[in-house]
A and B are shown apart, each in its own frame.
Chain A
Amino acid sequence: MIALGNDEKAKYPFLTDAGEYLKDKGFSLVDFGTDPVLKLAVDKALHRIKVAAKGLVYKSNIVDGQASKDNVLELEVFSFLLAIVLIKLTGMSTLVKRFALAEARRAESYLKTDLGNASDNSKIDLATRIIYELFQIEVTKDNDFFVMSVSDYVKHSITFHEREWKLINRHVENGKVFLNPDKTVRLIRKELGNYINSKIINAPKPSMIPGLEGIVDELITISKDLTPTYTITTGEYPPCIKHAIEILEKGENLPHSGRFMLATFLLSKGQSVQQIAPLFKNAPDYNSRVTLYQLNHLAGISGSSTKYSCPSCEKLKIQSLCFATSECDNIINPLQFGKKRTNVRI
């Protein structure tokens, strides 16, 4: 574990052993239900969760990156610990996800400031050490930029769908990618969220703290209100699949990658090998035996029993098989086409 100063404990409470900290200060979890001194921490924890549930980032009492007064530090660490305890007591996964994301974004803003702090090398060092310890990305400073290996960059950037994150939109030189502090930290936002998420999930579920039952019930109600969604499906095929079918109907050659897309799509939609096979009859190199063999293989009926899944839109774009229209609506896999999520509760 990284050795943290007081400021850092308040900024990155997920890096501390908050339970130990609580013990060191002479408290135990049950005290939160009764001790009037800790009432402020309980309120803050509840506020912290509510803000996260709304999709916002909680503003702490840290001033200029410093938790100068002792009680600020205590409040920050205690409220973080208690928020996790309360969320665990609700058992609501929606709250876990939202809280983890909000805490990640909060930490992200501190990391950005620390990395961008040109006058304080110790802050830069700590921020780069956090990035290395948590995500094994070695970041070094080169003038105004932070530099990492191309392989580390792409491992993380592929989780972004925005074009600006593509490697080609970065300054790449001699096996390294050059980023400003903002982008360096943005790159790990998702993983930071995952890290906090897994910390919460892996924490043991505590017993109910007497006196906090009402708060837990309130959080359960909030979480239930947030729970979406049902899905409406139009049943129409996406343009890439329509295009592939058209090509085959015309008796033109559909490349192997196109056949793979079509077959895996239809298999995922519940069609059988026997239903799909006739589609390929017009292909210039049609061979019924080979077609059935390949379809069975993709369906996991023969071979390694792996059921192949439909390629992502990103992969289809590279293979020149994507013919996206506005109806695609930023889906990331053809199987999502025509499905609309709605927040109306049923």
Chain B
Amino acid sequence: MLESNIRFLENSFKKYYFDHFSSIKIPERSFEREFGYQKFNPGMIRHLQIKNENELRLLLIQNAPSDVYCSNAYYTFPNLPMNEKDWKEADLIFDIDAKDLNLPCRENHTVLVCNECNNVSKNALQCSKCNTSKLEKKSLPCKICINSSKTEVEKLKDIFMHDLGISKENIHVYFSGNEGFHVYVYNSQFQHLGSRERSELVDYILFKGINPETLGLNKSKPASSIFPNLDEKGWRGRFAVKAFGSKTKRSKEISKILKDKNISSTFQDLLTTVSENIGVKIDPNVTMDIHRIFRLPGSINSKSGLVKIQCDNLEKFDPYVEASFLSDDSVEILANCPVEFKLKNKKFGPYNDEKITIPTFAAVYMICKKLARIA
């Protein structure tokens, strides 16, 4: 990144941390967690222990980090190398990202930025300017992306509360600061589970690995009564709702399946169709990793300049209004952003290699996406 861009981002981020520090809450039992941060120059500093808010404030102001992270795990010695930390337990965390939802809107707001010459293009295999194939995808998520992510969060919460016995107050939802949500589960029976056990929970939530027999298929003794009812708990009930829709349709659909000579493949077809949308589209790697450091709530995401914040009212939450905290001060930039976007209720773009003067929060958004630079 250009030196002038780095200076601008550092100053903007630093101002945010200075003005809004009181709204950044240091996580509980912070002295048992590992902290880390990145600066705008590459390189990650990890294995830090932060005991209180003053130490966190010092880190943010002194280092002007691009990103700040904190572990979900609790250690006896968080500042030692990984194999000496003495892992104790970890909160359960789920990541839902719009980029993983295969949404059709995506191609409308995704561009390719050349890693060599910063040329911006759409739908190319190689850079039209320098011919390299080292292109990086940058997306400016739209309302559909955010709403679809919210739907996944709601599905996830339903499984937490009804299947996994997690109480509502122990589920915290955060906007990730870029394209999705992080869902935290505190104080649950799952705190002490290792990576392999967590991967079982992940498969459960993804609706992955289900046997047709679990959902009522019995090749040797097929019977209507063993197929799930709509009011059943867990995946059987959810499957019945999705596959059959109503009680009457259930009977009809099941009679059809039972009459079929090739009962297995008919049922498998139904299962495949239903499977596409029934599971929650979480990133499995995130939940399985018990040594990961996660973006600190209240900190800025350098992929967008937006803040990772807790969503108390998910339905009404608008990240492009509520997570944009940087200043309105005007700044002159050279923008090459072919996609229109909206921040703090103002529309911006598209820009075609134009010199423009816009508020800092919008300039930071584009510079973070590599779609602009300080003029």
Contacts and interface: CB of A to CB of B under 8 A. Distances in A.
Interface of A: 149-151, 154-155, 157-158, 163-164, 166-169, 171-176, 251, 257, 284-286, 303-306, 314-315, 318-319
A306 B193 CA distance: 22
Given A284-B135, A304-B81, A315-B199, A169 B163 contact: no
B209 A163 contact: yes
B165 A166 contact: no
Interface string B55-92: 00000000000000000000000000111100000000
Given A173-B162, A318-B284, A168 B204 contact: yes
Contacts of B175: none
Contacts of A169: 209-211, 213-214
A229 B68 CA distance: 53
B372 to A, nearest CB: 21
Nearest to A166: B209
Contacts of B210: 166, 168-169
Pick the most buried of B135, B193, B200: most chain A CB atoms within 10 A of its CB: B200
Given A150-B189, A158-B200, A174-B165, A306 B83 contact: yes
A293 to B, nearest CB: 10
A285 B115 contact: yes
B219 interface: no
Contacts of B214: 168-169
A257 B200 CA distance: 18
Interface in B254-291: 284-285, 288
A285 B199 contact: no
A318 B199 CA distance: 8
Given A150-B164, A151-B193, A285-B115, A168 B209 contact: yes
B201 A154 contact: yes
Contacts of B196: 158, 314
A284 B137 CA distance: 11
Interface string B167-191: 0000000000000000000000110
Interface residues of B, number: 40
A172 B197 contact: no
Nearest to A171: B234
A315 to B, nearest CB: 7
B81 to A, nearest CB: 4
B192 interface: yes
Given A166-B204, A166-B209, A304-B82, 6 more contacts: A151-B193, A167-B200, A167-B203, A167-B204, A168-B207, A318-B199
19 contacts: A150-B190, A154-B197, A158-B196, A167-B201, A167-B203, A168-B203, A172-B204, A173-B163, A174-B163, A175-B163, A175-B164, A175-B189, A284-B133, A305-B83, A314-B199, A318-B199, A318-B202, A318-B284, A318-B288
Nearest to A169: B214
A259 to B, nearest CB: 13
Given A151-B193, A318-B288, A172 B134 contact: no
A284 B273 CA distance: 35
B75 to A, nearest CB: 14
Interface in B14-63: none
B326 to A, nearest CB: 28
A169 B203 CA distance: 10
Nearest to B208: A168
Contacts of A167: 200-201, 203-204
B233 interface: yes
